[in-house]
Structure 1
Amino acid sequence: MCGIAALFGNVPSREAIKQMTDLVAHRGPDGEGFRYFTRNQVDIAHLGHRRLSILDLSNHGNQPMTSRDDRYHITYNGEIYNYIELKRELEKKGHQFVSHCDTEVLLAAFCEWGPACLSKLNGMFAFVIYDSLKERFFVARDRFGIKPLYLWISNKGYVAFASEIKQLTVLPGFRPGLNHQRAYDFLNWSIHDHTAETLFSDVMQLRGGEYWEGSVDDIQFQPVKWYFLNDSPFQGSLDDAASLYREFLTDSINLRLRSDVKLGSCLSGGLDSSSIVCLIHDLLGQKNARDQQLTFSACSTVERFDERKFMDQVVSQTNHQAYFTTPDHHTLMAELDEIIWHQDEPFGTTSIFAQWEVFKLAKKHQVKVMLDGQGADEQLAGYTVCYGFHFLSLFRSMRWWTLWREMALARPTVSHVNPLVLLGSKLLPDWLRVPLRRLYRRPSEKPNWLSFQYLNAEDCDPFPGVDQLGLPEYCHHMTFTSSLPMLLHFEDRDSMAHSIEARTPFLDWRLVELTLSLSSDCKISEGITKRVLRESMKGVIPKGILDRRDKIGFATAEEVWMKDSKFRQILDDAIVSSCGIVLPTVLDDYDQMVEGKEPFSNQYWRIICFGRWMDRYKVFSYLR
């Protein structure tokens, strides 16, 4: 895991690439490196790198790295978990290696297979390769976009690539303008990272599963999609699926335990993180190394947000060393500007702060690699909202008895929402659904607290038609478009801010393809979510967690925190910082919420974070 930077074309001075890498020293505190390439004594390409040493801690793993024939040069961020197997395959083809790191294997794989090497990689990655013979560059991102890769094309005739947006701010001519449409999507719909655009105008990102090949003389952003999901319907029973699921998840975790530094894992007390922790316990037992297992967790002083009793069940069963932190809103406000700086863009809930505190705790104990359960909910329909899509699928297929039974069995799990409401919300016409969403303080079109005079964005749902998807299609949507890309952004910045590599076993491509090929009944049935995971973990995780129906997952007591009188002033300041986009009347709505006359809404936190982000990055609106 590292921080990368690259410049191609009519590049600025060499100092610029150094400034870019300096800004992400937290991503790579163990070393730095640069390569410069010229044509007729004029620079046309710069590569920069900050290293976080995970595999082969010697200088042999330093970057940028050059191929044996001195033609290809790479700056790379990520981990190729199957690098040992690929190395053996490449050695049979005549390749020789001097290091024990995955970077050299990746570079050799590109030399051997070109872009086709991407399909052979099992891992997370974002890399830039420069062909100094043809003066061309190749940039690529892993299947699901676990590792970030941003770009900005200057009107001076060069393109810049970076691991984090903040690196672009030091470049000549860069101005942090607001992308008004993406600002609307975030403020009203609580979403970003759902397109190639960012909240910064002109800053783009390569999406997961894409690459771009270009020339230093012809810089036109034309990404190519290289990953296409193979989700042919699974043929087999639930028991068959559970057996294969457990096999794939166990192997995924085993691969992600490859490291030359200290490892740990996040433990929230939920089904996903508990599965990882318990499977690690079994795997380390095979190596007689269970004493090396560490977990890190966030607790809450507010009982309904606290999962400590579930965490303790896992700790009691595995008898590993567990560490805990209790995030509070005073620390949040003291560190908010720093968190926003690392995140690059505003974030929609304070759960990001809880995750921040977990990685801070892990760093305190010298851990450099953490395994986490990110990605399971999207594939396995783990969110409450997924019940509505499940009911809709049953309704459309006219499985009336099954629909009635599923709604009845789901009632204890979704006690705060009537299952009929979840189904009805999918069946109502838009002219009725929109005002009802507004009545219940859910995101909807025509929000009355935004000024479209200054926002200058199209007032529309960023995902039209999604409410009409069946459950399998909605799981695909969450995995590749809406929920997961945003959560991966948050986790990358939270972990790397503390110089920690976060690994996500549920995003092994083999496991994702299996999961998304399963029928809806393998995800939700008998009123229970994540059915295949629960079946596969029987006898592995504590029964109290296997039978859990609620979901929290490093949530904070934001609903309680927001009622602190200090937040009203912070909200008022954020409204001023929004350049007229957020109307002051939203303070009346906030007061109604504090008094208990209106339901809790995350929109007030989004406004606070948006305003502070505009201040921190000095973002300007083209309309003010």
Structure 2
Amino acid sequence: MCGIAGIFHVESSKPVDPERVRRMTDAIAHRGPDGSGVWTAPGMGLGHRRLSIIDLGGGAQPMLTEDERFALSFNGEIYNFQELRKELEAMGHQFRTHSDSEVILEAYRAWGPKCVERLHGMFAFALYDQANRQLLLARDRLGVKPLYHARLADGSIIFGSELKALLEHPALRREPDLAMVEDYLAFGYVPDHGCIVAGVQKLAAGHYWLLTQGKAEPAPTQYWDLDFSNRVKGSEAELQEELLRLMRQAVLSRMVADVPLGAFLSGGVDSSSVVALMAEASRLPVKTCSIGFDVGELDESEYASRIAKRFLTEHHSKIVAADDYGLIDTLAFHFDEPFADASALPTYRVSEMAREHVTVALSGDGADEALAGYRRHVFHHGEERMRCLLPQAIRGPLFGTLGRLYPKADWAPRPLRAKTTLLSLARTGAEGYAEAVGVTPPHIRDRLYSRRTNQLLRGYRAEYHMHRLMDKAPARSGLDQAQYADMKLWLPGDILTKVDRTSMAVGLEAREPLLDHRLLEFAASLPENMRVRGGQGKWLMKRTMERYLPEDILYRPKMGFVTPIAQWFRGPLAETARGIASNTTLARTGWFDSAEIARVADEHIGGRSDHSRLLWQLLMLEKSVARIFG
């Protein structure tokens, strides 16, 4: 796991200043505390920060082939590099190191850009071919590793693992993209199709971009996509065995490291499943790491301890204060773009604690997206069945009227909160699901924006991108479409961004075995009743893991990391909430109606409404805007 950066002069071979590249990599030094390097050639500069995981003595980067034709700066891990190396050696390729980086170089020599189709792992890399003056930028299938890029006024392309690397280049214009403010408020993160800085982009997951000096820039090429349109056949027992085989394969392949390795353990289904399979494959006790909270209703550490005892792991745990808002500025620095998933705070803390014991940690991320594990998937699946029974012409007016008349009852037990469901049923599946995954709905955003902002947005809605994704998804059902959209938006934009930034902030490599692309392809082919059944998501996975895990771990309600931000904004952060409306960088942008923000803050602090998620969004947006545009 590392950090990369570079400069490519597309239109000429003018020299690249190595100090400029060095400043870009120094900005992301936390991603690679074990070493750094810069390499330049006419028109090309590559930089690298290294966190040593494989071949500690021989994997320094940027790495060149022996003939110096190809140069590589690489972030990530290739889990099948040993198999690829044997294949390449049989073809006559020779190796000087034992690193996966050198395998990428020789794979490119053998197969060109299509080598990415053979790489199993998480990666973002820049590979330069001096003979053809070509630069290949590539990103893994799911977008586990980030890759930002931008074109400058002089025609050059700059790129890096984090936005802060690009911001070090003096020629990058720092202008905000207002459409991404809209996307951020809608979803709580800036999706991969944009960036808070206008003109900066992210290479999409499952894409590569081949640039040739002196030639027009082509569009990036998609080399992988997840297809939900085919259904696998087989009995439940057969499907369980295949799922288990793929999970074992994914876990085992991610246990290769030349440094201490362990796992995050929350006590939930996913992390417990990973630990169970690690314990099965390991001769030594698995190192597990968890955190608990000093507030009982937020604390899952008892469940983690039970799993640790069950599998005889070397367990490390720590109780942290739920009142941990002191991390806000640290998180704002590491995320660069505004990021409002408050579970980033405990994720940072568990990464920080894990780094005291290991350099690599396996996580359970990805199973919810792959196997329909979120409550919203279960609800959407049920709503889609109702949508199939009634045409939109009847459903829209009927449920729309009922939804408007039904009282809003956030305080009531969940089965009695029918207003949201009724309004969702009045919409198309894509519209209903986009609302379900959103944080701040359109009517509230409209009230928040100033008149000028609403004019500049010209009717643009963040939800439109999700609607298009679902409408064009390679899918057979509404559940397929929802999961596909999550894979394209939520997973890289929220979950993987959160884990990458918090783990890299402390020099820890996080690996996600449940995001192995072969496992995902199988999961996408499962019949719906193998994903959702009886009000349960991840149905087949839970049935499969019954041989390893107790019932109360498998079937207890999903909890996840919870942060008491509502209390913060009525206590230690109350004045901060009040100040957002008037005396901040955000207020000076003119994007928002200050009186409306002040009203929201007063209502929350006075206990009349719970606006904590919105206030958290605005606070994190303020931190980002102040850092970048100041």
- TM-score by length of structure 1 reads 0.88
Equivalent residues in 2 for 1:452-463, closer than 5 Å: 452-454=451-453, 456-463=456-463
From the superposition, tell whether residues 562 and 241 of structure 1 become closer, same or farther in structure 2 (CA, over 3 Å): farther
Deviation at 1:452, TM superposition (A): 4.4
Are residue 28 (structure 1) and residue 39 (structure 2) matched?
no
Residue of structure 1 equivalent to 2:396: none
From the superposition, tell whether residues 326 and 216 of structure 1 become closer, same or farther in structure 2 (CA, over 3 Å): farther
Contact 2:292 2:317 in 1 (8 A): yes
Residue of structure 1 equivalent to 2:401: none
State the alpha-carbon separation in 2 of the partners of residues 425 and 510 from structure 1. 37
Equivalent residues in 2 for 1:312-391, closer than 5 Å: 312-328=305-321, 331-333=324-326, 335-365=327-357, 367-391=358-382
Deviation at 1:601, TM superposition (A): 4.2
Equivalent residues in 2 for 1:32-181, closer than 5 Å: 32-38=36-42, 44-58=43-57, 60-181=58-179
Are residue 537 (structure 1) and residue 545 (structure 2) matched?
yes
Deviation at 1:477, TM superposition (A): 0.9
State the alpha-carbon separation in 2 of the partners of residues 222 and 574 from structure 1. 41
Residue of structure 2 equivalent to 1:210: 207
- Aligned with 2:620 (options 589, 609, 619): 609
Are residue 592 (structure 1) and residue 603 (structure 2) matched?
yes
Q: Which amino acid aligns with 1:457?
A: L
Are residue 505 (structure 1) and residue 513 (structure 2) matched?
yes
State the alpha-carbon separation in 2 of the partners of residues 571 and 141 from structure 1. 41
Deviation at 1:32, TM superposition (A): 1.4
Moved more, 152-161 or 223-232: 223-232
Per-residue Cα deviation, 1:32-66 (whole angstroms, up to 9, x for no partner): 1221112xxxxx111111111100101x2111111
Contact 1:6 1:47 in 2 (8 A): yes
Equivalent residues in 2 for 1:193-592, closer than 5 Å: 193-195=191-193, 197-218=194-215, 220=217, 222-231=219-228, 232-284=230-282, 288-290=283-285, 293-328=286-321, 331-333=324-326, 335-365=327-357, 367-398=358-389, 416-418=414-416, 423-429=421-427, 443-445=441-443, 446-454=445-453, 456-464=456-464, 465=467, 470-548=478-556, 550-573=557-580, 576-578=584-586, 579-584=589-594, 585-592=596-603
Contact 1:211 1:224 in 2 (8 A): yes
State the alpha-carbon separation in 2 of the partners of residues 75 and 265 from structure 1. 27
Deviation at 1:2, TM superposition (A): 0.9
Q: 5+ residue gaps in structure 2?
A: 391-411, 472-476
Contact 1:261 1:368 in 2 (8 A): yes
State the alpha-carbon separation in 2 of the partners of residues 243 and 179 from structure 1. 48
Q: Which amino acid aligns with 1:235?
A: K
State the alpha-carbon separation in 2 of the partners of residues 418 and 207 from structure 1. 40
The DSSP-based 3-state class of the residue aligned with 2:414 is: coil
RMSD between aligned alpha carbons? 2.5
State the alpha-carbon separation in 2 of the partners of residues 242 and 517 from structure 1. 13
State the alpha-carbon separation in 2 of the partners of residues 417 and 223 from structure 1. 46
Q: Which amino acid aligns with 2:195?
A: T
Contact 1:534 1:546 in 2 (8 A): yes
Deviation at 1:570, TM superposition (A): 4.5
Q: Which amino acid aligns with 2:560?
A: G
State the alpha-carbon separation in 1 of the partners of residues 210 and 337 from structure 2. 27
Residue of structure 1 equivalent to 2:18: 14
Deviation at 1:267, TM superposition (A): 1.4
From the superposition, tell whether residues 141 and 306 of structure 1 become closer, same or farther in structure 2 (CA, over 3 Å): same
Per-residue Cα deviation, 1:220-267 (whole angstroms, up to 9, x for no partner): 362111113344211123332222111101110000000000112111
Contact 2:164 2:336 in 1 (8 A): yes
Q: Which amino acid aligns with 1:239?
A: A
The DSSP-based 3-state class of the residue aligned with 1:61 is: coil
The DSSP-based 3-state class of the residue aligned with 1:299 is: strand
Residue of structure 2 equivalent to 1:622: none
Contact 1:4 1:163 in 2 (8 A): yes
State the alpha-carbon separation in 2 of the partners of residues 571 and 83 from structure 1. 54
- TM-score by length of structure 2 reads 0.88
Q: Which amino acid aligns with 1:182?
A: M
From the superposition, tell whether residues 216 and 570 of structure 1 become closer, same or farther in structure 2 (CA, over 3 Å): farther
Per-residue Cα deviation, 1:490-535 (whole angstroms, up to 9, x for no partner): 2111111111111001110100101111121111101111101101
Per-residue Cα deviation, 1:182-227 (whole angstroms, up to 9, x for no partner): 01111243242241x2111111110101111112323636211111
Deviation at 1:152, TM superposition (A): 1.3
State the alpha-carbon separation in 2 of the partners of residues 394 and 483 from structure 1. 25
The DSSP-based 3-state class of the residue aligned with 2:457 is: coil
Contact 1:337 1:612 in 2 (8 A): yes
State the alpha-carbon separation in 1 of the partners of residues 560 and 208 from structure 2. 33
Q: Which amino acid aligns with 1:499?
A: G
Q: Which amino acid aligns with 1:332?
A: Y
From the superposition, tell whether residues 574 and 541 of structure 1 become closer, same or farther in structure 2 (CA, over 3 Å): farther
State the alpha-carbon separation in 2 of the partners of residues 586 and 601 from structure 1. 12
From the superposition, tell whether residues 267 and 562 of structure 1 become closer, same or farther in structure 2 (CA, over 3 Å): farther
The DSSP-based 3-state class of the residue aligned with 2:442 is: coil
Contact 1:298 1:325 in 2 (8 A): yes
Contact 1:574 1:607 in 2 (8 A): no
The DSSP-based 3-state class of the residue aligned with 1:447 is: helix
Deviation at 1:599, TM superposition (A): 3.5
Residue of structure 1 equivalent to 2:395: none
The DSSP-based 3-state class of the residue aligned with 2:263 is: strand
Per-residue Cα deviation, 1:413-466 (whole angstroms, up to 9, x for no partner): x95244865653332148xx99xx89x995224531222414732444423347
Per-residue Cα deviation, 1:252-285 (whole angstroms, up to 9, x for no partner): 000000000011211122111111111111111x
Contact 2:186 2:440 in 1 (8 A): no
Deviation at 1:298, TM superposition (A): 2.8
Q: Size of the alignment, in residue pairs?
A: 585
Q: Which amino acid aligns with 1:558?
A: I
Q: 5+ residue gaps in structure 1?
A: 39-43, 400-413, 620-624
Per-residue Cα deviation, 1:119-178 (whole angstroms, up to 9, x for no partner): 111100111111101111111101011111111111022111111110111212223221
